Amino acid sequence: MDLPAHFPAYPGPGPPHHTVQRAYQVISETYQNSMHLLYLEDADPLRLRFHLTRLQERVFPLFMALSAEGLPVDWLDAGAHVLGKLLLELGNAIKSTEEQ
């Protein structure tokens, strides 16, 4: 798996607005929790599905909202890449646990 251990650091030149900071925190924490779950050898398919759904229904919309905040395109590209890859890895992990 070639995913970074942490979601890319917030790129701002200063502290973000409270709403942006909270959105980033939710994205970063969800990423971290999902990564931890992927590294467990006996990950429960139900927990994997929960994280997959959370990414799809909460994290991606938050990330899309951040893209309207004028953040650097390089950071947005990196964030979109790792979130997409995480989504694929969770899907693969679910398939793998169901096949066992």
pLDDT tens sequence across 8-35: 998 876 667 888 889 999 999 999 999 9
- Domain count of the chain? 1
Sign of CA dihedral 66, 37, 32, 81: negative
pLDDT tens sequence across 83-97: 999 999 999 999 988
The reported pTM is: 0.88
CA distance 24 to 19: 9
The answer to whether the beta carbons of residues 37 and 48 sit under 8 Å apart is yes
Examine residue 6 and state whether it is found in any structural domain, yes or no: no
Examine residue 39 and state whether it is found in any structural domain, yes or no: yes
Three-class HEC string of the chain: CCCCCCCCCCCCCCCCCHHHHHHHHHHHHHHHHHHHHHCCCCCCHHHHHHHHHHHHHHHHHHHHHHHHHCCCHHHHHHHHHHHHHHHHHHHHHHHHHHHC
User: In the numeric block, which tokens belong to residue 78?
Assistant: 């990196």
**pLDDT (0 to 100) of residue 15:** 64
Examine residue 7 and state whether it is found in any structural domain, yes or no: no
Could you tell me the residue range of the domain that residue 28 belongs to? 18-99
Examine residue 95 and state whether it is found in any structural domain, yes or no: yes
Confidence of residue 98 (pLDDT cuts 50, 70, 90): confident
Examine residue 35 and state whether it is found in any structural domain, yes or no: yes
